[in-house]
A and B are shown apart, each in its own frame.
Chain A
Amino acid sequence: MNENSSSIALSAKNVYKVFGKKPQEAVRRLKSGTSRSELAGHATAAVIDVSFEVKKGEIFVVMGLSGSGKSTLIRMLNGLWEATSGEVIVDGTSITGITPAKLRQVRSEKISMVFQHFALLPHRTVLDNVAYGAELRGVPRSEREKRAREIIELVGLAGNEQKLPDQLSGGMQQRVGLGRALAADTDILLMDEAFSALDPLIRREMQEQLLELQERFGKTIIFITHDLNEAMFLGDRIAVMRDGRVVQIGTPEDILTDPANDYVEQFVQDVDRARVLTAGNVMERPISVVAEGAGPRTALRAMRDTYSSAVYVVGRDRTLRGIVRDRDAIKLVQKGESSLASIIRPVPQAVSVDDVLLDLFVPAIESEVPLAVTDDRSRLVGVIPRVTLLAALGPGTTATGELTIPQQAVPTTVIDELLASGETDAAPAVHGSDPKEVH
């Protein structure tokens, strides 16, 4: 714990926020087991016993419906609200109970914020808005304007420096908001429903740009949203909040495939799973595989055993070398050759473990056998049959579990083999019977 504390950008420890009279007493009662609804009338518990750690360079998403306490939570992370109980630590400095001057210093040096409704200063130009953080820190005008111009260019607003925020569209205004936070040169960025007020198309564009910027600057981002798709798209980890409590923290896949309770499960029902789950999440162990050194008879046997019309060929280190088709193997057997090398074909449809399901459909259609999934060293780590791909899109936890599949028709390989063993001039018939050969 201690040795990697330097990799923690921000942490919250048993944080409570209660509004109303006698907040401390309310916290005491909550700790002793009183429920949130029993407190209603005396005090409003917005955030109850929340703890988490955000690693440096991570995008940590806090997701919940309105009233779940997420906006209050994010405002405690930079001290806009002070925690009623518990502690918030920003880059090693506890910001709970420190002096206003110290708190201002933490805000201007370590943590900046992007707001839902942009919160730009309408009487200042885009340039002056972006340079606001530096101006407060007392950076000389020429220097802060130079930096602001770079950032404006980066967020795609070049040419609008002298405009007032009201002259820009919503998406552009939020780019100014993002630029203002980036130009403050803090390591941590808080984003409070930053894209919720934007049109869906612009929202997507901004999400993609945020990921690009994050990759480039390695900022730690804490992103608040009520949109699970957004959470899944952006988040390295997601904290799901309900009624002031965090009900689950995990990677998008964890939350989707292993929801902590019925609430989370219900919540994730509507998620566009095709955009969240990756090939790695749904792939199965590759079975129709032969080693590079194997002969055509081994390959054919493997095809027969797995009812498939082709097998993948892997090297000693499991790197994917290509695919061998039944027809080619048969010809090879007929010619009496013992090496597969001449008939190994490339596998253009091989996908990476990180590809989302949405990108797998077309390759799955084009591939005659289960899709090959390779890792970053192009090793064959799994395969995805089309049925698995379909099943993964359905709700529930069956996505990665065992499936009952209706019995398939006898594969052509069996028939091919049968015919091949009976007659010697079977090749033309095979050719005509294979519809995949058409294109």
Chain B
Amino acid sequence: MEDFRIPIGEWIETVLDWIKINFAVIFDGVGTAFSALIEGLTDALLAVPEPALILVFALIGWLVRSWQLAIGTAVSFLLVVAMGQWTPALQTLSLVLVAAIVTIAVAVPLGILMARNATASAILRPVLDFMQTMPALVYLIPAITFFSIGVVPGVVATIIFSLPPGVRFTELGIRGVDPERVEAGHAFGATPGQILRGIQLPLAAPTIMGGINQVVMLALSMAVIAGFGGADGAGKEVVAAISTLNVARGVEAGLSVVVLAIFLDRVTSALGAPGDYRSSILAILRRRRANRPSGAEVTTRARV
């Protein structure tokens, strides 16, 4: 019994090797595209003067949430600059943004498919469980063999790791739409596409946005791990700090990740519940737009 062993690991390695050899062209293309995207975005962000970029982040915070977030954002991002972590922080941010956008682009359609098709849901659910529970670092190994050291394996691992909540929340959101409202769509002769766009997606939007918030947060946590795969950014700083037991450097890199995390979380969660933040610029604009026509009606009625 001692010698009995099922070599699942070896089998999968064999399969992955076969994939790597036979689909090398595809991997090269995907890798080039990802690294170009991320490096391009990083370069673009770095090209903007630091105070201007911080102002933009602060304005985004105010736009979707509150002036308090704007001030907090400005102060904490200035702290990142002061710690000398600005460049790695922006590299991590680019990685997270690219990975999150790709994830959402895959997750939302998959979630819609699962909500409408019971078979697809039954097949995909265990796959998602697998993706979510597998230790995140494990994804890095095949990703590195496919794409070699650098930012690309980090992105790919991040996408795989952060995909499940995006899919799940989308499915949950669409399934959770009041069935009577969907029936109302059918009863007035709407096509399935019209029901999806006009009823299910808008009503599921808060839940889907909750999923997107989760995607972004998981992407950020994975982006740090991506440092082990050689991706530039805060993660790489952390890895370097670990290998040299440099507490100061580790704390500073960690803090900059915390700052990014808080900013991304507050912004994405506010996007999911726009009604909760009445002092945001968006809410003020909406109110002004809503008041205009009803104000006109009041005057016409007064005249009558």
Contact = CB atoms under 8 A, between A and B. Distances in A.
Nearest to B291: A162
B190 A136 contact: yes
B297 A121 contact: no
A379 to B, nearest CB: 47
Nearest to A107: B189
B133 interface: no
A200 interface: no
B29 interface: no
Contacts of B180: 115-117, 119
Contact of B189 (A123, A133, A163): A133
B296 to A, nearest CB: 10
Nearest to B180: A119
Interface string B188-201: 11110010001100
Given A123-B203, A162-B290, A136 B189 contact: yes
A273 B293 CA distance: 49
Interface in B193-213: 194, 198-199, 202-203
A80 B186 contact: yes
Nearest to B194: A136
B188 A184 contact: yes
Contact of A108 (B183, B188, B198, B290): B188
Interface in B274-304: 290, 293-294, 297, 301
A80 to B, nearest CB: 6
A385 B295 CA distance: 60
B178 interface: yes
Contacts, number: 65
Nearest to B296: A162
Contact of A121 (B199, B294, B301): B199
Of B188, B199, B290, B293, most A-chain CB atoms within 10 Å: B188
B199 A159 contact: no
B189 A108 contact: yes
B173 to A, nearest CB: 14
Nearest to A127: B293
A105 interface: yes
A403 to B, nearest CB: 49
Contact of A112 (B187, B198, B199, B290): B187
A66 B181 CA distance: 21
Interface string B164-192: 00000000000000101101101111110
B224 to A, nearest CB: 37
Contacts of A21: none
Contacts of B190: 104, 136
A161 B294 CA distance: 8
A256 B187 CA distance: 34
Contacts of A120: 181, 184
A357 to B, nearest CB: 38
Contacts of A136: 188-190, 194
Interface residues of A, number: 31
Nearest to A79: B186
A137 B203 CA distance: 22
Nearest to A105: B189
A122 interface: yes
A209 B198 CA distance: 30
A59 to B, nearest CB: 19
A180 B181 CA distance: 13
Contacts of A190: 187
A372 interface: no
A336 B183 CA distance: 80
A360 interface: no
A121 B181 contact: yes
Contact of B188 (A75, A112, A123): A112
Contacts of B290: 162
A437 B148 CA distance: 113
A121 B198 contact: yes
A132 interface: yes
Contacts of A78: 187
A117 B178 CA distance: 10
Contact of B297 (A115, A117, A161): A161
A45 interface: no
A24 B178 CA distance: 30
Contacts of B184: 113, 115, 119-121
Nearest to B182: A119
Nearest to A161: B297
Contacts of B198: 121
Contacts of A80: 183, 186-187
Contacts of A184: 188
Contact of B183 (A119, A133, A180): A119
Contacts of B181: 119-121
B188 A133 contact: yes
Contact of B294 (A132, A137, A162, A180): A162
Nearest to A78: B187
A113 B297 contact: no
A106 B183 CA distance: 15
A80 B190 CA distance: 12
Nearest to A118: B180
8 contacts: A80-B187, A107-B189, A111-B187, A113-B183, A119-B181, A123-B203, A136-B188, A136-B189
4 closest A-B pairs by CB:
A108-B189, A119-B184, A113-B187, A107-B189
Interface of A: 75, 78, 80, 104-109, 111-113, 115-117, 119-123, 132-133, 136-137, 159, 161-163, 180, 184, 190
